[in-house]
Amino acid sequence: MESFVDAPKLRAEFMKILRGRRSNEVPLSVELAKPVVDPMYQGTSRPLLDEAMESCPKENIENFKDLLREENLYLITEASEQGRLPVLILSMKDSKDERKPAIVFLHCTNSCKEQIRPLLEAYASRGYIAVAIDSRYHGERASNTSTYQDALVLSWKNGDTMPFIFDTVWDLIKLADYLSEREDIDPSRIGIIGVSLGGMHAWFAAAVDTRYAVVVPLIGVQGFRWAIDNDKWQARVDSIKPVFEEARVDLSKEEIDKEVVEKVWDRIAPGLASQFDALHTVPAIAPRPLLIINGAEDPRCPLEGLEIPISQTNEVYKEATCSENFKMIAQPGIAHQFTPLMVKESSDWFDKFLK
């Protein structure tokens, strides 16, 4: 498995980057929280995920709501304003004294953990402990409808935070610390899944932390270096455009170009388009079960940019004699969308490898 990536070295380099912009580290601690009554959604419209989520397989349980256990808490992951991680956990009340598999669910840009509750309930009904968080500058960690975009701009200006992907990956490492110590969770059976931005969080968290045993990034995996080199970066840039506009002005450019894009990535997520790109981090997930699903027509995650990373990942799993542990699905006719097929395929994947 060393043909394409030295996974332990990559993880050490990634951790060095993550620790490089941390406030003083503090011991992980837990605080109780209350359910969120009025969730925060950012941007101009609420993400359209509801139809796909409602298609998730769910056990028909009488008095389901009465048997559902809900926990709301905060994990203190670092000594900073954003170092307070909101966590929502759903599971079924039962008398069995056994450890269960757990799955961490990660929301998309401008959303929050409350929106993906239908997925949490569906998985909880099937015997999983379902966990969701608010990523950095989202949900309970946002103060207004532009908090996330503002944080990206400040990261470009100050270079002291990594709000695009990496800071939330730090939180997910700390979350794994917490989940691994819970008496009701089997620490060898912790899965992770995310949509869009959440898919990127799942991908990178699994690359750096092997405790995530089964991994499903949805419409998130992409080749950042390939996009720059092949002038296919526009759709991804448009999703968080204010930071690139700010950089364009600072760099005295008339328009956003590939130089602007590369400098922004290097500033707000160091290594994203180089040593931590898909070419290196996706194969590092092997030999753990990995399912990647993208839309075949997704301009934010162009399939052409994944040809070499996917080919190399296939080879790594083949060398590890576990080719069945890796699968890539490109759903025909689908752009940057979350679909019922993605819900069904990921559900089947977890049932196969995590139960």
Does the pLDDT value for residue 44 go beyond 70? no
8 A C-beta contact, residue 165 and residue 150: no
Phi, psi of 325 (to 5 degrees): -85, -5
For tokens 């089947």, name the residue.
348
DSSP states along 274-340 = TTTSHHHHTGGGTTS-EEEEEETT-SSS-GGGGHHHHHHHHHHHHHTT-GGGEEEEEETT--S---H
State the DSSP H helix or E strand holding residue 84, giving kind and residue range, or none if neither: strand 84-92
8 A C-beta contact, residue 56 and residue 118: yes
Read off the pLDDT of each residue in 266-272 and give the average, rounded to a whole number.
Answer: 98
β-strand 68-76 against 29-32: which pairing, if any?
A: antiparallel
So what's the pLDDT on residue 2?
42
So what's the pLDDT on residue 23?
77
pLDDT tens digits for range 276-335: 999 999 999 999 999 999 999 999 999 999 999 999 999 999 999 999 999 999 999 999
Residue 297 neighbours by CB distance under 10 Å? 15
Does the pLDDT value for residue 45 go beyond 70? no
pLDDT band at 25; cut points 50, 70, 90: confident
- Which 3 state secondary structure label does DSSP give 53? helix
pLDDT tens digits for range 29-38: 999 999 999 9
8 A C-beta contact, residue 109 and residue 148: yes
So what's the pLDDT on residue 48?
64
Q: CA 301, CA 329: separation in Å to the nearest integer?
A: 13
Q: CA 314, CA 328: separation in Å to the nearest integer?
A: 9
Q: Closest by alpha carbon to 219, among 312, 330, 327, 122? A: 330
What is the rounded average pLDDT for all residues in the chain?
95
Does the pLDDT value for residue 49 go beyond 80? no
Q: For residues 5 and 193, which has the higher predicted lDDT (pLDDT)?
A: 193
For tokens 């997520």, name the residue.
269
So what's the pLDDT on residue 35?
97
Q: CA 179, CA 276: separation in Å to the nearest integer?
A: 26
Q: CA 137, CA 109: separation in Å to the nearest integer?
A: 10
pLDDT band at 237; cut points 50, 70, 90: very high
pLDDT band at 1; cut points 50, 70, 90: very low
Q: CA 179, CA 164: separation in Å to the nearest integer?
A: 24
pLDDT tens digits for range 198-235: 999 999 999 999 999 999 999 999 999 999 999 999 99
Does the pLDDT value for residue 47 go beyond 90? no
For tokens 């940019």, name the residue.
305
Q: CA 75, CA 85: separation in Å to the nearest integer?
A: 5
Does the pLDDT value for residue 46 go beyond 70? no
pLDDT band at 154; cut points 50, 70, 90: very high
Read off the pLDDT of each residue in 146-173 and give the average, rounded to a whole number.
Answer: 97
pLDDT band at 43; cut points 50, 70, 90: confident
Q: What is the pTM of this model?
A: 0.97
So what's the pLDDT on residue 4?
65
